[in-house]
Amino acid sequence: MKIQHTILILFFTIKLLGQQEVRPDIEHVIRFSNPIPATTAGTPSVFESGYLGYVNCGLAFQHSSKLNPYRNWENPDFNLATYVGLGNPHKWLGIGVSFNLLGLSNENGAEDNFGESSIDFQLSRAITKDIHIGIGVFNAIQVNPTPINTLRTYYVQASGRIQLKERNDDFLDYLYFNVGLGNGKFQERESFLSLKNENFKFYGSFAVQVLARTNCLIEWTGSELALAASVIPFRKLNFNFMTGITDLNFRKKRWIIVTGYSFLLNKKKYLGTMNPKTISTYLISPQ
C-alpha cells in the first residue's frame, strides 16, 4: 500500500474518531496536573497536542548545522518557532500550526538564508486516554526557502505513555513513546542532502520520567541517533530546557540546546479535563 493511501486512511480514521469524545478519568487528570517535559528532540509528538489556546514559543541551537557538519564551532545555527493550537484532541481533533523562522543570519547555518521561514501543520486524535495518533507535514508553506527546505516532509505517527508503577512518586513513573513513518527529513542523510524525497523511514523516541519534571530520552530520526535530557526547572513557570547530543552514529557529533515557554490562553475551558502538555519540542527542533 502506498504511503499516500496510508495517510488518507489515517486521516479519515482520525476524522471518524473525532466524532466520539475520549474523556480521561479523575486519576488520569490528577496525574497530568504537572507539566510534561519534552519527550522528543528532533522528531514530532502528537501526544496531548493541538489544544485551542495553547501557545509555545521556543529557540533551538546546534553548535554545527547538519548541512556543514565538519565545521564545528565555525558554523553554529539557531532557529525560532511559535506553535498555536486550534482544536481539541479529546473531543474532535487536535490541530496545530507551527510558524518557523529558520534563517537568523546569512553567515551561520545555511548560507544566505536570512528571513527564511516555513509553516507546519498537524492533526491528531486521542484514541484512548493514553494513546494519540496523528498526521502532519513540515514545510507545507515556504518563504524564501533554501534548496534543502523545499522538501516537504509528510508523516504518520502514534504517541503515548505507559505507566511503569502504581504509585505516583515521580521517579520512573512513566515511559513516553513516539513512533512514526515519514519521508523528507526522516530519510537517510544522503538522500535528504541531495534533495531526494522518495523514501519513507521509521523514526521514534522513548523518554522516561526520572524526576517530577525531568525526562531522559533516546531518539532515532531515521538517520540520526540522539540522547537528551529535558527539564522544567520551575514549578509554576512553564519553561522547558533541553540539551543533548545527536549524530551519535556519525564521526562528528552535534550538540543541541532547546528552550521553550508555553502558556494556555483559556485555562478555565480545560478545568476538569485533560491538561494539555507543556512543551512540544519538535516545533522548535534544530533544523
pLDDT of residue 110: 59
HSE (CB half, 13 Å, CA atoms) of 59?
5
Which DSSP state fits 271? T
CATH domain 3-284 topology: Porin (2.40.160)
Local confidence pLDDT in tens for the 287 residues of the chain = 455 555 555 555 555 554 555 555 434 443 445 678 889 988 999 998 888 888 889 888 887 777 665 555 556 777 889 999 999 888 889 999 999 988 666 566 556 666 688 999 999 999 988 899 999 999 999 888 777 777 899 999 999 999 887 766 567 888 999 999 999 989 888 887 777 887 899 999 999 999 888 999 999 999 999 999 999 888 778 889 999 999 899 888 888 999 988 888 866 555 444 444 433 334 455 55
Handedness of CA 274, 155, 241, 98 (dihedral sign): negative
pLDDT of residue 106: 58
Q: Where are the domains of the chain?
A: 3-284
Query: pTM for this one?
Result: 0.82
Which pairs count as long-range contacts for 245-251, CB under 8 Å and 24+ apart, including other chains?
Answer: 246/41, 246/42, 246/62, 246/219, 246/221, 246/286, 247/66, 247/69, 248/224, 249/224, 249/225, 250/69, 250/224
Beta-sheet pairing, 239-246 with 54-62: unpaired
